[in-house]
Amino acid sequence: MRNRVIICEASEVITIGLADIIDSMTQFDVVARIDNPEHLSEKIVSSDANLLIINPSLLGYQNKSFLSQLGKDHPQVTFIALVTTHLDHAMLTPYNGVIEINDTRSKIMSKMEGFAQSETSKNADDVELSKRETDVLVAVAKGMMNKEIADQMNISIHTVISHRKNITRKTGIKSVSGLTVYALLNNLIDEKDLI
């Protein structure tokens, strides 16, 4: 199945360039290019998109709450930040991945392939984490390091790493921000736990 992509970016030059790169890949279709997030939810529904590339600067301080609500309304959508300027790293935590303005064509294509694989894994019905894996996932989503998780759960660091590998294998999500979104979307943590 081809991935349907929406690009939400104010700069037409950036949008056209990114759309050209993505459209050149066989498993992607850019189904919409919009310059502001005002009617984004309606656009996701009308285009049946499953990947959203959005510049976090367009959302400003409402970044987290906007994406959290959008994730609840459209759990099938993977959120990718399009970073065109320097941003506070905390603004990127709600996203499954990041594309940067200075990424090369091949790097963008590689990242998009990773997002597509993650999307395929996310849609698989056999994602079932054990109780311990879920506990580790929640701890990771809350920003805890492997040593802290090991100490809190009274297990070795090697066991924590093993659980994290299993979580990545089962969910297809490699980044901490992606796991955080996964935990939020699956109601494993509350947004207030991240503050």
Using an 8 Å Cβ cutoff, are 178 and 118 in contact? Answer: yes
User: Residue type at 141?
Assistant: A
Position 169 scores a pLDDT of 81
Position 125 scores a pLDDT of 45
pLDDT tens string 44-78: 999 999 999 999 999 887 877 888 888 888 888 89
Task: Report the percentage of the chain scoring pLDDT > 70.
Answer: 93
User: 7 - beta bridge partners?
Assistant: 33, 53
Residue 175 has pLDDT above 70, yes or no: yes
Tokens 């990424």 belong to which residue? 103
- Enumerate domains of the chain plus CATH numbers: 3-123 (3.40.50.2300), 131-194 (1.10.10.10)
Region 122-144 average pLDDT:
79
Residue 10 has pLDDT above 90, yes or no: yes
- How far apart, in whole angstroms, are the C-alpha atoms of residue 37 and residue 89? 21
Residue 32 has pLDDT above 90, yes or no: yes
pLDDT tens string 78-128: 999 999 998 877 788 888 889 999 999 999 998 898 887 765 555 544 467
